[in-house]
Amino acid sequence: MTKKKAIEDVTVRAFGKKTDLFFNVIIGLFAITCILPLFFVIVISLTDENTLSQYGYQLWPKKWSFAGYEYLATMGGELMRSLWISVIVTVFGTMINATFTSTYAYAISRKSFKYRKFFTIFCLITMLFSPGMVANYIVVTNMLHLKDTLWALILPMAVSPFNIIVMRTFFKRQVSESIIESARIDGASELRIFLQIVIPLAVPGIATISLFAALGYWNDWFNALLYISDDKLVPLQYLLMKIQANIEMLTQNAGTGAQFAGGLAAVPKEATRMAMVVIATLPIAATYPFFQKYFVRGLTIGGVKE
């Protein structure tokens, strides 16, 4: 009987290794399919425009060129200013979003909070129904007078109902009520409990919502379209949209005159488009590995329905 059990254990282990190998291969192939498009975009951004026109897209082009980046470098001052604006908006916006979201979620996650059901339903309603673009524009411009300010890029996205629900579940599952009661018995205030006890326990969840918020702020260009007319306050994404629109204008009017034709010939269209994608993507992609371990843990814990 012991020998039979040993044979069964060996068989189970061998089957488990084969299963692990199979799923590792599947996950590896999936990872390659995710990385390959970004690599392809980088290669196209470094490909000579004439080579693209003649041979099309290639993983290893016949001729390399930095023309797309050189074209963007001609507006280096404006590009760097827009990059700096995007960094400021992303950093401060993420901090504000994480603060508002975590405090709101912590309040509605505690049974001792008398109005937790009301504010939970209020959060769900705002997540399901939107007042619309006109109402938002009137509030931001006429009531708050935030037009042509950085606050117009930060405050409209300062609170996320989805992130609040995620953090609410995270707080309910990870922060025990007994710990809070023990701190209250010892005389700790609510602010001290939140800062010294709750926050250290909630780092994975806060990192998760911070990553969501940072992605939203970094990729946002629509608020700049609505509220920003000062060129000195244009964020990176909106500037890249304007560059793309200029290239499209040159392309559509290439046959109307020598001026447009000459301008179009001087612009590496496809390489510039891909260079814009690289510039817009790499900074936020480079920060993701630092949040990854917190992101996975926070998303799996906070995403389970309580």
Question: How far is 182 from 165, CA to CA, in rounded Å?
Answer: 26
* CA nearest to 163, candidates 210, 202, 125, 198: 210
Tokens of 266: 């001087």
Q: What is the pLDDT of residue 10?
A: 53
Confidence tier at 304 by pLDDT (50, 70, 90): very low
Residues 69-302: name the CATH superfamily.
Answer: MetI-like (1.10.3720.10)
Q: What is the pLDDT of residue 306?
A: 46
Mean pLDDT over 111-117 rounds to 85
Confidence tier at 89 by pLDDT (50, 70, 90): very high
Q: What is the pLDDT of residue 305?
A: 45
Instruction: Please return the burial class of 255, using the count of CB atoms within 10 Å of its CB with bins 0-12, 13-18 and 19+.
Output: exposed
Taking CA atoms, 161 is separated from 119, 120, 168, 171, in Å, by 11, 9, 10, 15
Q: What is the pLDDT of residue 190?
A: 81
Q: What is the pLDDT of residue 111?
A: 83
Q: How much is the pTM?
A: 0.76
Asked whether 95 and 202 are in contact (CB, 8 A), the reply is no
Percent of the chain with pLDDT over 70: 81
The residue count for the chain: 306
More confident residue, 257 or 165: 165
Mean pLDDT over 32-46 rounds to 82
Average pLDDT for the chain: 79
Q: Residue 211: pLDDT above 70?
A: yes
Which amino acid appears at position 5 of this protein? K
- 104-114 burial, b if ≥16 CB within 10 A, otherwise e? bbbbbbbeeee
Mean pLDDT over 277-292 rounds to 75
Q: What is the pLDDT of residue 95?
A: 93
Supply angle C-alpha 174, 175, 181, rounded to 5.
160
Q: The dihedral of CA 80, 86, 90, 91: what is its sign?
A: positive
Mean pLDDT over 153-179 rounds to 86
Q: Side-chain half-sphere of 182: how many Cα atoms within 13 Å?
A: 7
Asked whether 136 and 156 are in contact (CB, 8 A), the reply is yes
**How many helical (H) and strand (E) elements, i.e. helices and strands, does the chain have?**
16, 0
Asked whether 206 and 141 are in contact (CB, 8 A), the reply is no
Q: Residue 77: pLDDT above 80?
A: no
Tokens of 282: 């790499």
Q: What is the pLDDT of residue 90?
A: 92
- Residue 64 DSSP SS3: strand
Q: What is the pLDDT of residue 181?
A: 83
Mean pLDDT over 230-241 rounds to 85
Instruction: Please return the burial class of 254, using the count of CB atoms within 10 Å of its CB with bins 0-12, 13-18 and 19+.
Output: middle
